[in-house]
């Protein structure tokens, strides 16, 4: 079983892409809605939550872990790999970095994300390790998550805020932009419009799903459970979370309140 | 010692007002920044957190509890009073209701708050218990919290969002508006401007502080500790939280990470 976790509902964009590429595989999702969001919190706290989320998925039978949350991917991946050595752990940052390097022509890349993600400077580090000549500009856009969660996808205020968020990156002359938060692909059209035609967007959901697909189809995990609907657990359940889940997954979905969720 | 808790930093507006009215009293504050915000979460989860927050303050010696968080006040007060019978527990909803009833002339009152607060319908219930003839209109304005936390107090987007939030209440002809979230007093000037000159605002921080003052000065708690700086604990600490704390308290303040905070 492939386990996916996120700070909340946003990671369903990653689950959706995984299900599209790996139909028939069995998925287990955990959204930590009782403690969401992670992106405003400290690395120490995010690492603790990521360990607990991983333990939850493993307890429920996950054999592969996908960290769908960018904030957790940015600050907790090393700790998770160190702590759960036998478990293959995928995260959303590295695949986007490699895709962006493949796309950029002028080697000027922008990254937007939560405060935790941008302040970790993980993208700068990973880009420079692979190509010291690349210029990377990160920008925290904390207001986009609540705007998406309110469903304000086409409101004038959202357009203005996206434009304001991207302006400093445009002025740096980026030609590639990484959408470094699960919520941003929901605003992909608007972000593309405000970034300008020449800027290519990298959607991490697609990139990580491609990696997971290559791995599980590479006979590594022929024993993985097939068939069955995904099990989608959350640590807190409200009508608003169900509404956002529908938005992210593109269809109505049943969220299960996990009584044994980490608290 | 007077213990004050909130889902995060916003409750410092209540602490500030308490300190102004009760100089010399000793205060203990707990902001649950590791799990903030509460206002998007379910009543069940908010009640659990409120119990844990109260236990934290009592463990540290608080003799009086002030629930500064409107979402917790709205859904958890009955449970807290039932569970901690010996402890005087103040909350921010009732004092605002009574103040609004004293202010309104046309008996048409608006309330803005988080989704949890508005959906609890607690204000409607408390208003109608006191005056069945009053008309009450609640409106959830979830975007105002992240806008305040980003420090976007005077941006055009914030003005537009406040205006849009208040429009349905203005159309109902409210003459009194309760600021039903700790963050909103920070936007008081803007809200007053958009609500219109004839609408009177109720700031719950002032109202609850008045109640607490009357209680502790009424010889009920002459044994309360005096002097000393307030102790301000948080369950998670980031530079951004410190920045917001400065905004709310009006001066730089030391936040202490509580190692024994509820998780």
Give pLDDT tens digits for A24-52. Answer: 899 999 999 999 999 999 999 999 999 99
| Same-domain pairing of B99 and B79 | no
CB contact under 8 A, B146 and A143: yes
Task: Indicate which CATH number applies to the domain containing B209.
Answer: 3.40.50.1860
Say if B263 falls within a structural domain. no
C-beta of residue A196 within 8 angstroms of C-beta of residue A162: no
Q: Which residue from A222, A174, A208 is spatially nearest to A194, judged by alpha carbons?
A: A174
- Whether residue B188 is contained in a domain is answered as yes
- Examine the domain organization and report whether A176 and A210 are in the same domain: no
Whether residue A165 is contained in a domain is answered as: yes
Question: Residue B212 is encoded by which pair of tokens?
Answer: 């607490």
Q: What is the pLDDT of residues B125-184, one digit of tens each?
A: 999 999 999 999 999 999 999 999 999 999 999 999 999 999 999 999 999 999 999 999
Final residue before a domain boundary, out of A204, A227, A248: A204
- Considering the domain architecture, whether residues A81 and A148 belong to the same structural domain is answered as no
The beta strands (E) that lie in chain A are given as 2-6, 27-31, 64-67, 89-91, 108-113, 135-140, 176-180, 200-202, 231-234, 256-257
Rounded (5°) CA angle A15-A17-A23: 90
Q: Pick from A115, A103, A40, A64: which is nearest to A221 by CA? A: A64
Same domain, A70 and A100: no
B175 domain-assigned: yes
CB-based contact B186:B144 (threshold 8 Å): no
CB contact under 8 A, B143 and A161: no
- Rounded to whole angstroms, how far apart are CA atoms B100 and B88? 23
Based on the fold, state whether residues A77 and A124 are members of the same structural domain: no
Residue B100 is assigned to a structural domain of this protein = yes
Residue A77 lies in a domain: yes
Same domain membership, residue B209 and residue B87: yes
- The verdict on B64 and B6 lying in the same domain is yes
Token representation of residue B50:
């409120």
Are A99 and A196 in a shared domain? Answer: yes
Chain B residues inside the 8 Å CB shell of A50: none
pLDDT of residue A215: 94
Q: What is the pLDDT of residues B1-15, one digit of tens each?
A: 999 999 999 999 999
Residues A140 and A70 in one domain: no
Interface of B with A in 41-60 (CB under 8 A): 41-42, 44-45, 48
Q: Edge to edge, what strands does the sheet with A231-234 contain?
A: A89-91, A64-67, A2-6, A27-31, A231-234, A256-257
B69 is catalytic: yes
| Termini Cα distance of chain A | 24
Answer whether A42 sits within 8 Å of B143, measured CB to CB.
no
Q: How many CB pairs under 8 A join A and B?
A: 67
The whole-number average pLDDT for the span B70-85 is: 97
- Which structural domain range is residue B87 located in? 2-91+205-257
Residue B157 touches chain A, beta carbons under 8 Å:
yes
Q: Which of A165, A187, A204 is the last residue of a domain?
A: A204
Mean pLDDT of B181-205: 97
Whether A263 is covered by a domain: the verdict is: no
Taking Cα atoms as reference points, which of A130, A126, A129 lies closest to residue A138? A126
Three-state DSSP class for residue A191: helix
- In this structure, the answer to whether residues B12 and B77 fall within a common structural domain is yes
The pTM for the full model equals: 0.93
**B215 shares a domain with B125:** no
Q: Are residues A100 and A191 in the same domain?
A: yes
Of B203, B221, B241, which marks where a domain is finished?
B203
Q: Domain tally for chain A?
A: 2
- Residues in Cβ contact with A245 at an 8 Å cutoff, skipping those fewer than 6 apart: A9, A12, A232, A253, A255
Catalytic residue among B69, B72, B145, B191: B69
Is A262 a member of any domain?
no
User: Which portions of chain A are predicted below pLDDT 70?
Assistant: 219-228
Using the beta-carbon criterion (under 8 Å), do A45 and B36 form an inter-chain contact? no
Helix orientation angle between A204-215 and A93-103, rounded to the nearest 10 degrees: 110
What's the pLDDT tens digit per position in A51-98? 999 999 999 999 999 999 999 999 999 999 999 999 999 999 999 999
């Amino acid at each position: 079983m492939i386990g996916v976790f996120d700070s909340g509902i946003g990671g369903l964009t990653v689950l959706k892409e995984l299900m599209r590429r790996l139909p028939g595989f069995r998925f287990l999702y955990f959204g930590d809605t009782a403690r969401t969001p992670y992106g405003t919190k400290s690395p120490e706290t995010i690492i603790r939550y990521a360990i607990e989320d991983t333990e939850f998925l493993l307890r429920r039978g996950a054999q592969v872990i996908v960290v769908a949350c960018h904030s957790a991917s940015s600050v907790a991946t090393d700790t998770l790999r160190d702590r759960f050595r036998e478990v293959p752990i995928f995260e959303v940052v590295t695949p986007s970095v490699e895709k962006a390097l493949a796309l950029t022509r002028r080697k000027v890349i922008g990254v937007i994300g939560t405060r935790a993600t941008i302040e970790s400077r993980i993208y700068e580090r990973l880009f420079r390790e692979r190509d010291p000549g690349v210029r990377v500009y990160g920008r925290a856009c904390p207001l986009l998550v609540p705007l998406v969660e309110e469903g304000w996808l086409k409101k004038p205020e959202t357009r203005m805020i996206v434009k304001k968020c991207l302006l400093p990156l445009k002025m740096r002359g980026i030609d590639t932009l990484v959408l470094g938060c699960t919520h941003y692909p929901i605003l992909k059209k608007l972000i593309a419009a405000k970034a300008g035609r020449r800027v290519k967007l990298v959607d991490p959901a697609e990139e990580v799903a491609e990696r997971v697909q290559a791995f599980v189809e590479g006979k590594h995990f022929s024993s993985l459970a097939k068939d069955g609907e995904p099990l989608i657990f959350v640590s807190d359940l409200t009508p608003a979370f169900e509404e956002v889940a529908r938005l992210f997954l593109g269809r109505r979905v049943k969220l299960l309140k996990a009584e044994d969720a980490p608290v």
